[in-house]
Amino acid sequence: MSRAGRGSARAALAVAAVLGIALVVVIALRTPWQLLPEPPGGFTPVDPTAGLSAEQVDRAESFAAALRPASLTSLVLGLAVSAVLGLTPLGARLVTAVARPLGGRRAAQILLGVVALVVVGRLVTLPIGAYAEVVRHRYGLSTRTWGLWVRDVAVSAAISAVITALALTAVLWLIRRAPRMWWAWAAGTAAGFVVVASFLYPLVIEPAFNRIEPLPAGELRTDLLALADRSGVPVQDVLVSDASRRTTALNAYVSGFGGTRRIVVYDTVLDQLPDEEIESIVAHELGHVVNGDVLTGTLTGALGAAAATAMFGWLLSWTPLLRRAGAEAPGDPRALPLILFLLAAGGLVGTPVQNLVSRQIEARADLHALDLTGDAEAFVSMQRRLASTNLSDPDPPVAWQWFFGSHPTAAQRVAFAEDWSRDRG
Ligand SMILES: [Zn+2]
C-alpha cells in the first residue's frame, strides 16, 4: 500500500474510534438508566410467572422451546453463509457469473451481484422461516395463508435487494471517485440514509405490508386523542392496521416524526381489549412521542452507521482481507460479498447494544403510560393479556433476553407497575 493509502486507512480507523466513543457517550447520557427511585426495602421482586396461570406459562414456554432453536439456527446459518461468500472467493465468483450473460459489465456485476447475494442469503434460511411459520400456525398465532406468507417473503426480499443494491452502487461509485477518502463520504451518506429511511418507513415500507386506516370516529377515538392532548404532544392521527390478516398477536407502535408521526394500533387490539387497556397501550406509545424516542433512535442509528462505515473503510484497505475475498481493490464489485458480510457482522454486534437501550426506552414509555392513565390495574392486566395472547415467555433465559429482548419481560413490567404504585402512593 502507498504511503497516502496507509494514511487514509489510519484516518478511517481514527474517525471510527472517535465516532464510536461519541456513540457510547450519547447512549450513556441519553438512555434513562433508572426510572423510579429505589423504595425502602428494595424493588419489588420479579415474579417469573407475571401472574399468568400455570397453563398459560406452559403454553408460552413450549412455544418458545419450539421456536428458539429455529431462530438461533437461522441467525447462525445466515451469518455462516455470508462468511463463506465474503471470506472466500466463492461470492466473487457468483458476482462475476451472474453478470456474464449481460456482458459482465461493472454496473451489471454490482446490481445483479447484490440481488443474487441477497436472494441466496434469503433462500438458505427460507426452510427455517417456513418451519417457524408452521409452529406459529400450530399455536394459532399466525393467521396468514401460505399465499400471503410467500408474498411477504418475496416483498421483503425485493425491498431489501433494491435498497442494498442502490446503497452499494453509491458506495462503489464513491470508492472510484474518491479512492482515498470515500469512507468519509460514505459515512456521511450512511448517516443521512438512516434519517431519510426513518422518514420514508411509514410512507413506503408500512403500506407495502399493511393497510392502515384512521380509527373511526367514536368514543374511543375521542378518548385517545384526549390522552394525546393531555400528553401535550401533537399526533397526526391514531391509525388501525389490518394485522389480523397475518396474526392474532396484539401490538401497537409509533413511527415517523414531525408531520408524519403516527400511532398505529393493530386491529386485533381493538377487537379483543377493553377500552381502558387500549388506552394504556396508546398511553405507552404517547410516551415514545413525548420522549422523542423515534428521533433519538434515528440519530443514534445514524451515528452508529457512520462509525461502522468508517470502520469498514479501514477494514477494506487491508489487502489480505480483499485477496481472501477474491477482490483486488475496495471498489471492485467482487468485494461486494465481503462488504455484505461486514454489514451482517456489524448488525450482529449492534443488536444487543440496540436492545439494551431499547429496553430502557420501553420502560420509560411504560412509566409515561402509568403516569398518564394513573391506572396500574389496567396496565398490569394489559401486560398479562399481551403475554398470553402473543405467547411471549414471561421470564425468558437471561442470555436470550440480553441479546434479543427489545422490551422488558412481562414479569419485569408487572413488577415495575407494582413499584410505580408504591412510589406514587
Ligand atoms: Zn414501546
Residue 101's pLDDT band (cuts 50, 70, 90): very high
What rounded mean pLDDT belongs to the chain? 93
What is the model's pLDDT at position 1?
60
The mean per-residue pLDDT over the stretch 152-173 comes to 92
The mean per-residue pLDDT over the stretch 31-50 comes to 93
Handedness of CA 231, 237, 242, 246 (dihedral sign): negative
Interval 252-282: pLDDT, tens: 988 877 777 888 999 999 999 999 999 999 9
Interval 323-357: pLDDT, tens: 999 999 999 999 999 999 999 999 999 999 999 99
Query: Distance between CA atoms of 236 and 239, rounded to whole angstroms?
Result: 9
The mean per-residue pLDDT over the stretch 186-208 comes to 88
**Ligand 1: centre distance to CA 309 (Å):** 29
Interval 295-324: pLDDT, tens: 899 999 999 999 999 999 999 999 999 999
Interval 368-415: pLDDT, tens: 999 999 999 999 999 999 999 999 999 999 999 999 999 999 999 999
Q: Which of 44-48, 201-205, 237-241 has the lowest mean pLDDT?
A: 201-205
pLDDT greater than 80 at residue 3: no
List own/partner pairs for 202-211 with CB under 8 A and 24 or more apart.
202/255, 202/256, 202/260, 202/262, 203/256, 203/260, 205/159, 206/241, 206/255, 206/264, 208/155, 208/159, 209/152, 209/155, 210/241, 210/242, 210/243, 210/245, 211/241, 211/242
**Ligand 1: centre distance to CA 387 (Å):** 14
What is the model's pLDDT at position 208?
86
Active site positions, annotated: 285
pTM of the model: 0.92
**Ligand 1: centre distance to CA 16 (Å):** 31
Residue 205's pLDDT band (cuts 50, 70, 90): confident
The mean per-residue pLDDT over the stretch 104-120 comes to 93
**Ligand 1: centre distance to CA 252 (Å):** 8
In 3D space, the residue among 209, 195, 202, 277 whose CA is nearest the CA of residue 237 turns out to be 202
Q: Is-contact 356 349, C-beta < 8 A?
A: no
